[in-house]
Amino acid sequence: MLVLSGGTGTPKLLGGLRQLVPDEDITVVVNTAEDLWVSGNLVCPDIDTVTYLFAGLLDTDKWWGIEGDTYNTHEALASAGHDEVLRLGDRDRGTHIMRSEFIRQGASLTEAVNRTARMLGVGANILPMCDEPVSSMITTDGGKVHYQDFWVGQRGKPGVLGVEYQGAGNTTITDAIRQVVEREDNIIIGPSNPITSIGPILAVKGMRELMGSKHVVAVSPIIGCEPVSGPAGKLMSACGCEVSSKGVMQCYEDLLDVFVLDERDGQGQRDAGDMDVDVDMVVVDTMMTSPEKSAVLAGVVMEQFV
């Protein structure tokens, strides 16, 4: 099973999928355009969330970091006057140190992520979207900043004028991703932010073409004209997309075969139904407020496979 993921909505769905299939049968291609070097180590927020989910370590109140982690290093640095843009837990930082050491020793990001995941006991195959650095850069009314500076540093407050995937032009599809996509018939696009989580994955050079012949099932992260959480609405508007399930469908364009929307999203159902596209619509409860609800939605998604 192959799933494209960011760091909140899709991991909730992955939590459901892994109740239905063995972890070893799940491959997750994860966004890396929110990655950032912090105090000498590469932080990969979405990869970390997915890794901790499969390692049974994830803090599922926040959907980032390790449950019960402490912040001694971060606080010691801050009190010495060294501020970090991300509040990193101590054990979480241990993961970043390991991964960064592998990279410093010459490993690709794919190898470094794989080795780190194995060391944490992960059975799933977690693949970064590419090995080259890509950054989601947000043009705000105060200037162009990295996604983390916008969302964490400035709490998502500035007005947004545009988003670009810096470095995407230099990417290539990794052998690991090519092999998995070639052997899978179905691809799940989870309910993640279409601009800063799924958009960068699809911007890897050749990715859309590689996925073109596959049966793609996507879950909408938008209900009505609001995302369930996070800055997707502001970012979609800035990119000229309608903030709606219809807007999400337009982001995935010709890739889509099945679109799963929320039963509360009457407008989305009407608009998506009016679109002149050959996409099956499935209307269910997509709010994953418990592991049980995640498993039910995961089951519905798997029923759409060919």
Contact residues for ligand GDP, defined by CB under 6 A: 6-10, 12, 46, 191-193, 197, 219-221, 227-230, 232, 286-288
Least distance CB 64 / ligand GDP (angstroms): 7
Q: Please, are residues 215 and 305 in contact by the beta-carbon 8 Å criterion? A: yes
Q: Which residue in 223, 203, 218, 87 sits closest to 153, CA to CA?
A: 87
Nearer to ligand GDP, 34 or 111 (CB): 34
Closer residue to ligand GDP, CB minimum distance, 8 or 114:
8
Rank residues 122 and 260 by Cβ distance to ligand GDP and give the closer one: 260
Give the C-alpha separation, 51 to 64, whole Å: 10
Minimum Å gap between C-beta 80 and ligand GDP is 29
Whole-angstrom distance, CA of residue 163 vs CA of residue 141 = 12
Q: How far is the CB of 57 from ligand GDP (least distance, A)?
A: 17
Cα–Cα distance between 50 and 231 in angstroms, integer? 20
Q: How far is the CB of 256 from ligand GDP (least distance, A)?
A: 16
Give the nearer residue to ligand GDP in terms of CB position, either 167 or 268.
268
Q: Which residue, judged by CB position, is nearest to ligand GDP in the bound state? A: 9
Is residue 38 within a helix (H) or strand (E), and if so which, with residue range?
strand 36-38
Least distance to ligand GDP, CB of residue 105, Å:
28
